[in-house]
A and B are shown apart, each in its own frame.
Chain A
Amino acid sequence: MTRRILAGAGVFAAAGVALGFLVLPIVAIFSRVSPGTLVGQLSRPVVTDALVLSLKTSAIAQALVLLLGTPAAYLLATRRFRGRSFAVVLVELPLVLPPAVAGIGLIATFGRLGLLGGTLDALGVRLGLTQAAVVIAVAYVSSPLYVRQAIAAFEAVDPDLVAASRTLGAGRTRTFFRVVLPLARRGLAAGEALSFARGLGEFGATIMFAGNLPGVTQTLPVAIYSAFDVPPDGFTTALAMSALLVVVSGALLVTLRLTLQWQPSRPTSRFLFAPSR
């Protein structure tokens, strides 16, 4: 009996410590200075510049992720070929890579002395320390989250529905846009929300490959890093920007949960096509 009570108390204590550990840093960001000061800091040019830049580069990066990631995910989800699992692992690898590794990898690839550097140089393109480099860094670290989720979403689409659509005379393209995409849309939206949130927070690869120039390559996370040691009130500015990112990321997470929980009214036609199993 006492053993059970002790075990129960132990579990609660462990849960309390874990929750406190995860929540306290967030609480600290908001409690260190008054909300009025935080909001006041947000109108500083260094903050607004960084916010606009973060949103702009994220928007471009996510457009690229959707445009290139969706066909890639569809292919990986629907085709069975040798080395498919290996390809999926490769797609997921950047997810677990430390951002510094991503930064080094991008420099070694797109840098002036990198793998593609000579080719790019011949074309008159220098990516390092430009806004394009920010977009590349953000797309690199965030796209695997989308593609991974998109593969799962496409795999969950009932192949019989696709077959039915084809039998009824719809072409591949029409089937994709009218049947597959609507059925997978919630998974795709969830993946995109995660990808967007991750991209917004990208720091390591950006500061290594794109540098740190206010208004050009200084995203919010990079601005936080640059501001926190600037006297007299850089730390407060850094706190304000951190609070802003907490709010935005939190909103994205809530949106994500709502998207996943929301049950659309199921089209009755689905059951017409469902085979008796």
Chain B
Amino acid sequence: MRRRALAVGLAAAVASACALAAVALAGTAQTKATRLTVFAAASLTNVFPKIDAHARYSFGGSNMLAAQIQQGLPADVFASANTKLPAQLHRAGLVTTPYVFTSNRLVIVVARGNPLHITGVRDLERSGLKIVMAAAGVPVGDYTRTVLAKLGLSDLVGKAVSQETDVREVLAKVTLGEADAGFVYATDAKTVAGKVSVLRLPPSSQPRVQYAAAAVKSSEHLGAAKAWVKRLRGAAAQRKLRAAGFLPIPH
């Protein structure tokens, strides 16, 4: 009797496993119809689906995505929040020639209404403030360090209470009230307008925040991937980027 129950259970398990496998296979068969997989910087999370709702996206820290491409994860397009990582992958023969498609600005976000009356970046040296930034190597983390170095405030890096792995994590820590101030892109601040207050950085300290995209050479749809990258520089995509607060392609 018990044996029978076991057999029935096993049969059910095998059947459900087969069903799952069938569903998974059907899923991959469907995506074969050139649905591109785009690895894109976390700061592009809101705007990319507006440019192409059809693609599959993996958003994250550009450095993590670059590492995943290096480890052979199947991406078709790589869109990074800097030019360094796509250039590195290009030199390694992994992606096509990268093109800059937009730019951005760095800002400081603080709690809505700025209850702690933080007046600017120099005010962050005040003791007791919880500052978050992205880790070195993450594009926004590198930009943050560049700004602070230009302002002679590099000691703030050591005071950060967390080194996050992408810009949206930094933003979340401030919107949730866990941190008092964080360094993010202007476009990220715009996605939570009304939930945070934005402090500008001195224009002279602004780093050159440029986004570059390239097609992944191992892509099964290299032609489509190249076209997708080109499309980012087209008028329609540029309009969507501008609407989200991104800046024009620098000359």
Contact = CB atoms under 8 A, between A and B. Distances in A.
Contact of A230 (B63, B176, B177, B178): B63
Interface string B130-163: 1010010100000000000000000000001111
Given A213-B163, A229-B63, A229-B67, A111 B177 contact: yes
B86 interface: no
Nearest to B160: A213
Interface in A115-168: 117, 126, 128-130
A217 interface: yes
B83 to A, nearest CB: 16
A130 B163 CA distance: 12
A175 interface: no
A129 B177 contact: no
Interface residues of A, number: 24
A221 interface: no
A225 B67 CA distance: 12
Contacts of A235: 67, 71
Interface string A217-259: 1000000011011110011000000000000000000000000
Nearest to B65: A229
A113 B176 contact: yes
Interface of A: 107, 111-113, 117, 126, 128-130, 207, 211-214, 216-217, 225-226, 228-231, 234-235
A230 B163 contact: no
B175 to A, nearest CB: 9
19 contacts: A107-B176, A111-B176, A111-B178, A126-B178, A128-B177, A129-B161, A129-B178, A211-B132, A211-B163, A213-B161, A214-B163, A217-B162, A225-B165, A226-B163, A228-B67, A229-B68, A229-B137, A230-B63, A231-B137
Contact of A212 (B130, B135, B178): B135
B173 A212 contact: no
B179 A226 contact: no
B61 interface: yes
Contacts of A112: 176-178
